Structure 1
Amino acid sequence: MSETLMLLPSAQFERIRVVRIPDDLDTNEAYRFATGIIAQAEESNADFVWEDIAEALEARGFEPLAHILGPELD
């Protein structure tokens, strides 16, 4: 069984995240849900941290994954 993953980009290299998309969502729906969840977290709390977003994503079935990225490119 293959898993569908989503990369959550960031201008700050260390803030890039990877999440597993729930099986009940296709990629377009997952994108809409994730961007909406992130926007809501940012709007409701100006001092948001990743844990706030991760908790909201997990409530909808997304699963944050540990990952190792290569070195930052200049």
Structure 2
Amino acid sequence: MKEKLMVLPSTHFEQIRVVSIPNDLDASEAFRYATGIIAQAEESEGDYSWDDIAEALEARGFIQVDVVLGPELD
């Protein structure tokens, strides 16, 4: 079975993340879940970090994937 991946975009190039989607979620459910986690972090803590979001995503079965992105385009 192919691994499903999701890109979590950012306005800062170095903060773009890629996570694998749990097998029991389809792409739209995974998107809603991930955006909900991010929104919850933004609303509850003014000073949140990627680690806070990653921990919540990992609790649901998402796994951060190490990737090397190309240079930032101007």
TM range (shorter): over 0.9
* Matched positions, count: 74
| CA displacement, residues 5-36 of structure 1 (integer Å, 9 cap, x when unaligned) | 00000010000000000000000100000000
Alignment of 1:21-32 (within 5 A): 21-32=21-32
- Displacement of 1:42 after TM fit? 1.3
Instruction: Give the structure-1-normalised TM-score.
Output: 0.97
SS in 2 for 1:25: coil
Aligned to 2:58: 58
Where structure 1 has 5 or more consecutive residues not aligned to the other structure, the ranges are none
SS in 1 for 2:10: coil
SS in 2 for 1:58: helix
Alignment of 1:8-23 (within 5 A): 8-23=8-23
Counting aligned pairs with the same residue, the percent is 69
4+ runs deviating over 2 angstroms? none
- CA RMSD, 1 decimal: 0.6
| CA displacement, residues 28-53 of structure 1 (integer Å, 9 cap, x when unaligned) | 10000000011101111111010000
